[in-house]
Structure 1
Amino acid sequence: MPVSFLSAEQRSRYGVFNAVPDIAQLGAFFHLDADDRRRAMAANGARNRLGWSLQLGTARFLNCFLDDPEDVPAAVVDYVAEQLVLQAADLKGYGEKEARWAHQEQIRTGYGYTAFAGEQWFALACWLYKRAWTTNERPIVLFDLATHRLVEAKILLPGVTTLERLIAALRERVAARQHALMATAPSPNQAAVLENLVKVEEGRRVSRLDRLRKSPTDVSSTGLVKALDRHVELRDLGAAGWDLSAVPPGKIAALALLRPRRPRPGRRRTGRRPQTRHPGGLRRDHGPPVGRRGDRSVRPGGRRPAAHLGVQSDQRADAHPQRPRHRGDRAA
């Protein structure tokens, strides 16, 4: 099972400002009340006061601290500096000072944020393992659900690699557990029969398992007999008597949907778009290919855009098929 399931673009969008916050977001996450300004004014110098305030707003908005506290949009700096009666230029050099680490600790203790340490790692791992065992969610969905859970608990987001490796390792453990439980279900004789299913007999091009996967398609008496023979052959495997109560039903249903992907023989790719012939001489161009469905970001509590949780969902491109044209119209 691959460890990395995020694309390079998704990794680059995690835990950073992906866009300039709008006026509503500035007011919700970067507004400084009287207590915030009092804490900020306790810092030494204009640079530290502005840097402390920006780190507080960043923690509220991204649920993490930036490697470079100065890497924030200019509109955010102007908004915060105006509240402190300071200039945006006062922030220059703050990211190189050691005071930024002390400011992060003050914000964590003063505003109830928790670092992603051993106890938090174990709690999140247990929750992810239970969800991966009972559902068939893709790793990117688990990634977004994990960030949502951390945001709701005010646990600062870990590095993208840390969370990615955790999810990949848990999914691998779930797969190993499922395989171990299902491998003990058949008897030794049944297991030997199942192993013979994947062997290609002499004189045939496909295995017996591949033949059983394909159901008869001809609607006739011959097809009915083939379907009944296939049913009897599958029933004789004895799978109906296996005790699979320890495996979630969703896992078994997902295995039943698995099919081998094979390229169709004789098909060649061309630069032309595929066309579908319709009765009456009509044809329809399928148009540009629809964009691949990407990850699904979860919006925590409906108050924070998914883009600011780290991974941004890919947008599905709209396909605009052309109107069907008659052959006579095209010839004209």
Structure 2
Amino acid sequence: MGGLLGETAGRMPDRAMLAEYRAAGTKAAEQGVPLRTLVDSALREAEQLGSAAVLPALRRVVSALIEGYEDAQRQALRSEDTARREFVDDLLQGRAERLAERAEHFGLRLAESYVVAVARPVAGALDSVAGTIERDLIARFGSHNILIAVRDGLLVCVVPGTLAAATGEFSHHVRSRFEPGWRIGVGRAHRGPGGVVTSYREAGNAIDLGDRLGLRAPVLKAADLLVFPVLLRDRAAMEDLVTSVLSPLLEARGGPEPLLDTLEQVFAAQGNQTAAARRLGISTRAVTYRLERVRRLTGFSPEDPTQRFTLETAVLGARLLDWPNQLF
């Protein structure tokens, strides 16, 4: 304490003295001195003075010490948060400057394979939820395995590929904390910093595909959706297929949408028209009528194995390309 408290005996400390105590508190925090030790030091000095007159000054001195100490802690937290955000941005964009070294500080060993899951909420404050979910996951799986961050309106979860249960636990926490309407995309396991970027993109693309295809499942895995990027890789061929097969449906009374919906549900139900009717909220007879209408207009029957495959691929392509809203 440098005897500063003795200088205040009988009078209140001035601004300069309080500034020195705040600086002492800041220095103690930076050096890792416990706050209790700092306050005990001030109290011991007051005891040595042995005067009741020093107590009002002591209150101000201790307050200044604590203020400086807490300021240093807040600054350290802000610096850590900034470093964390910069690291997450660099990691998910593949900027490799000292990435492996920085990753160790945040609990990741980038030589391993990692899986990235992203959650998109309907609404809510993601930052506070992120901290809570991260603490819960770390408590179960360990601090050197989990990274939770907020980026571009998504809650991002990075976990080792060997921790298969971690993405399931992440989904559980999202389900319990987010309002209905949330959706999660899960990438595949890939190795190294570039693998994290790839898995992150796959997770985001899974959510996008779910939206475009009208998929009902709230959790979508990139591994289950591999056919769709393949279909989109040759866009011109997909547009030609959709136009050639489905354009006659534009002539249907009520437009093509009811017929497309019916085909989708029949395919999803493995050809079970009763189940498809239940999902659509119509009679089985209406489903049968619509399928016959498709056959007459397009010349393709969903009951013929070869023609069914062509029809199903065309319907998937229509959803991916937003047809007929986007006509080619």
Q: TM-score, normalised by structure 2?
A: 0.29
Larger RCO, structure (CA 8 Å, separation 6 or more): 1
- More helix as a share of residues: 2
- More strand as a share of residues: 2
- Who wins on radius of gyration, i.e. which is larger? 2
Q: TM-score, normalised by structure 1?
A: 0.29
